Every structure is written in C-alpha cells, then in structure tokens.
Structure 1
Amino acid sequence: MDIIGWIVVIGLIGLGLAGAIFPILPGALAIYAAFFAYGLFFTFSKFGFWFWTIQTLIVIVLFVADYAVSAWGVKKYGGSKASVVGSTIGIMIGPFVIPAFGLIIGPLAGAVLGELVHGSSMAQAWKVGWGSMLGLFASTVVKVLLQVAMVVLFFIWIL
C-alpha cells in the first residue's frame, strides 16, 4: 500500500509541476491534493497549522500572481481589456489547436486579435502581443518557483 501511496503522491506532484507550464492542468491544486493523498495513505500527523497555512497562502498567491502577472504584461505594453481576454483565451485553446507551439502562439495571437478588435493599429496590437508573451513567461517563472517551494516544504515537513 505504501508503494501505491507514493505513486499517487509523486504523480500528483508531477501533474502539478507540469501545470506550471501547461495552464490547462490543475497545477498548484494537484500539488495541494498530493498533501491530502499523503495524509490519507500515511499520516496527517506531520502536518500542522503552520504547514497548511503556509501551503494555502502559496496557493492563493499562485492564483493571484498567475492572472496579475499575465495581465501586467499586456497592460504594461498598452493593452486593452479585450487583449487581456484574448490572451487568456489563447492560453487555454492554443495548446490544443497547435500542440507543439500553441502555448506560445495562443496568447500572442489572442492578445493581437483582442487588440485589433478593440480598434488598435497593427503595430500596437503586435506590441501588446509581445507584452502578453513577456507576461506569460514571467507568470510561468513565478509559478514554477512557488510550486517547487510547495514541494520542497512538503518534503522538509515529512522528513
């Protein structure tokens, strides 16, 4: 039963870390679920108030940062609300439409199209698209760092 428990825990952590790169995956919630799986398969006694408080705060920061950092990239380059929405839609559907490059092309195309719909010039739309890309990359770095911190804290806590 221990082997199955560790397979579930490691699988959820792996799924969560992959979620930092592929936004369609659950990300931080999968890592959070790994903690519950560990508790169910092994014990919750190693986790206390501070563990759950710190991990919950990291998850909240991840959700806020994920949207805020991506939107910041679009807004910093003069993007409208339409380009933020377009970029978000592009992040979600891009990987399915263009599997190898959709994660990069999706938000770029979404931001550009959103800005063009808003009535901006092509030059402005491309500028905002570039901002969308910078925001996406910055957001991904933040997510990876915070999710790795969640995992490291988990292993420190249980050892």
Structure 2
Amino acid sequence: MSTLLWIIAAVLLVAGYVGLVIPALPGIVLIFAGFVAAAWAEEFAYVGLVPLTLLGLLALAAYFFDAAAGVVGAQRFGAGRSGLTGAAIGTFVGMFFGIPGIIAGPFLGAVTGELLARRGFRDAGFAGLGAWLGLAAGAAVKIAIAFAMAGVFLFARFL
C-alpha cells in the first residue's frame, strides 16, 4: 500500500509543479494532495497534523492570491469598477483558452471594461497593463509558495 501511495504522491507532485505553468491543471491543489499522499505513505509518522495544516494554509493563500492578483493589479493602475469587473471576467474566460487566454484575458477584459465605461484608450490601456502585471505577480507568488511548501514538507520529514 505504501508503494502505491508513494507513486500517487509522485504523480500528483509532478502534475502539480507542471500545473504551475499550465493553466489547465490546478497546480497548488495537486501539490498539496501530493504532500498529503506522501505523508500518508509513511502513516503520518514524520509529517503530521501541524505541517499538513501549514501546507494547507499555504495552498489556500496561493490559490486566493493568484485569483485576485489580476484584479488588484488593474486597480493599482487606475481601473474603475468596469475595468475591475472586466479583468475578473477576462481572467475567468481566459482560463478556457489555455496559456494565450490566461495571458491575454485579464488585459483584454480590463481594457474592454474601461472602454465600455467610456474611458479613454490611454486609461483603458493602463488598466489592462495593471491587470497583466498583477497576473504575472500572482504567478510568481504562486510558484514561490509552491516551493515553500516543498521546503515545509522536507523540513518536517527530515529534521
């Protein structure tokens, strides 16, 4: 049974780290599940409730930060309510179009929202740029948290 759990853990962890850059996979969730499977493979002898709770909190933080980053970026660059709504809708719709959609969705959504609110092209462009920069910052933080999760697991397991 433990061999099967180790195989499951490895597959989940590899898929999770790949999912950090491929939007079709829920990377952080898969990474957390992989660490839980690895702890379970050793019957939670080394990695118990406290490290797993910390890993879960880190996974939640990464998930919510990543989801909100594009909207916050647009707001920082002066987007109004319409631009923020557009960035959120663009982020959601973009997920269905793979990497190009993930990259362009928040930008196009913020720009469209600002233009529909009758703001100028310059303001709309800044809102779109802010949404895109927020998305990039969210991805960077998500990757950093994923590697911090690996550090927490390894620390709990080996020290």
For normalisation by structure 1, the TM-score amounts to 0.82
Alignment of 1:62-101 (within 5 A): 62-94=62-94, 96-97=96-97, 99=98, 101=100
CA deviations 1:71-124 (Å, max 9, x no partner) are 221011111233233223323332543x45222112211111122223322221
Q: 2: distance between equivalents of 1:16 and 1:44?
A: 21
Cα RMSD (Å): 2.3
Alignment of 1:9-158 (within 5 A): 9-94=9-94, 96-97=96-97, 99=98, 101-158=100-157
Distance 2:77 2:117 in 1: 15
Determine if contact 2:36/2:52 at 8 Å carries over to the other structure. Answer: no
1:81–1:4 CA distance, 2 compared to 1 (3 A): farther
CA distance in 2, matches of 1:95, 1:65: 16
SS in 2 for 1:12: helix
Residue 113 to residue 61, structure 1, CA distance change in 2 (3 Å): same
What's the % identity of the aligned pairs?
31
Gaps of 5+ in 1: none
Runs of 5+ in structure 2 lacking a partner?
A: none
* Structure 2 CA distance for partners of 1:71 and 1:100, relative to 1, 3 Å: closer
Pick which of 10-19 and 107-116 moved more.
10-19
Q: Secondary structure at the match of 1:101?
A: helix
Instruction: Check conservation: 1:24, 1:92, Cα contact below 8 A.
Output: no
